[in-house]
A and B are shown apart, each in its own frame.
Chain A
Amino acid sequence: MDNIKPRVKVPKSASAGEIITIKTLINHPMESGLRKGKDGNLIPRQIINKFTCEFNGKSVFSCELEPAISANPYIEFSAKVTEAGTFKFSWLDDDGSVYETENKIAIK
């Protein structure tokens, strides 16, 4: 899909050992597959089915999403920061597309 833009909110820095909150949003219709189009036929399902967050290559948090998740899926979770590094976020679309973004964090 075109014009899909992931957005994340991560603090620029944290104290060593601090637990931070990460907020993510991606614009996506999350077409449930249960909805009829104008022609009366079902619109095929197309959703973001998986989201992952890694820090310096190690898994922090991930989730599997079903059609019951609202359009423009919003996901908020925590991460414990013990060192400076890079968060990598990935969203997997039913059509095989992967949307990615990265955020760096420093230690105060």
Chain B
Amino acid sequence: AAGVFGFSLSASATPEATAESIKNFAGGKEPAMGGDLTLTTPEIAENGNTVPIEVSVASPMTDDDYVESVVIYAEGNPNPDVAVFHFTPMSGAAEAKTRMRLAKTQNVVAVAKTSKGQVFMDKKEVKVTIGGCGG
């Protein structure tokens, strides 16, 4: 299935590129690992074309204390950006699920930012059996 999704055609992103993006997102703050943010991924993804992921941040989600955004990165994809979720107090809970492409076995990183300026991070390794994208 080489070339079906073509991620293998270009250079992979690096953990360094992801770290740079996180720095920009966090406004220079050092994110606190784990804690209020939980990233849930499968340990092993047989098909890298559609890997379910879930983010959940413990937060009161009130007008003066809520999670503004959560960004997802895939360190080993050609482009580490995956998605940015924007929440509001009307979200009720800072939770979202989607499905993503992973070119190969790699770390997936989630970073959350709250209205009070707190920054949280979580990271999970996903082993990919068949690369999303013919990798």
**Cβ contacts under 8 Å, B93 to chain A:** 19, 78, 80
Do B133 and A32 touch (CB < 8 A)?
Answer: yes
**Cβ contacts under 8 Å, A98 to chain B:** none
CB of A86 within 8 Å of the partner chain = no
Identify the closest chain B residue to A33 (Cβ): B6
Using C-beta atoms within 8 Å of the partner chain, give the interface range for chain B: 35 or more
CB of A6 within 8 Å of the partner chain = no
Q: What separation, in Å, do the CA atoms of A89 and B9 have in the docked complex?
A: 35
**Cβ contacts under 8 Å, A67 to chain B:** 79, 101
- The smallest beta-carbon distance between B7 and chain A, in angstroms, is 6
Do A58 and B98 touch (CB < 8 A)?
Answer: no
CB of A64 within 8 Å of the partner chain = yes
Given A34-B5, A59-B88, A78-B92 in contact, is the A69-B10 Cβ separation under 8 Å?
no
Q: What mask results when residues 78 to 94 of chain B are scored 1 for a CB within 8 Å of chain A, else 0? A: 11011111111111110
Cβ-closest 6 pairs across A and B: A80-B92, A35-B6, A19-B92, A76-B97, A78-B93, A70-B99
Do A77 and B85 touch (CB < 8 A)?
Answer: yes
Q: Which of A20, A34, A75 is the one whose CB lies under 8 Å from B133? A: A34
Using C-beta atoms within 8 Å of the partner chain, give the interface range for chain A: 20 to 34
**Chain B residues with a Cβ under 8 A of chain A:** 3-7, 9-10, 49-51, 61, 74, 77-79, 81-93, 95-102, 132-133
**Chain A residues with a Cβ under 8 A of chain B:** 19-20, 32, 34-36, 42, 55, 58-71, 73-80
- The smallest beta-carbon distance between A46 and chain B, in angstroms, is 14
Q: What separation, in Å, do the CA atoms of A78 and B93 have in the docked complex?
A: 6
16 pairs across A/B with beta carbons < 8 Å?
Answer: A20-B92, A35-B133, A58-B88, A61-B91, A63-B86, A63-B98, A68-B82, A68-B83, A70-B50, A70-B51, A74-B99, A77-B97, A78-B91, A79-B90, A79-B92, A80-B89
- The smallest beta-carbon distance between A9 and chain B, in angstroms, is 13
**Cβ contacts under 8 Å, A63 to chain B:** 83-86, 96, 98
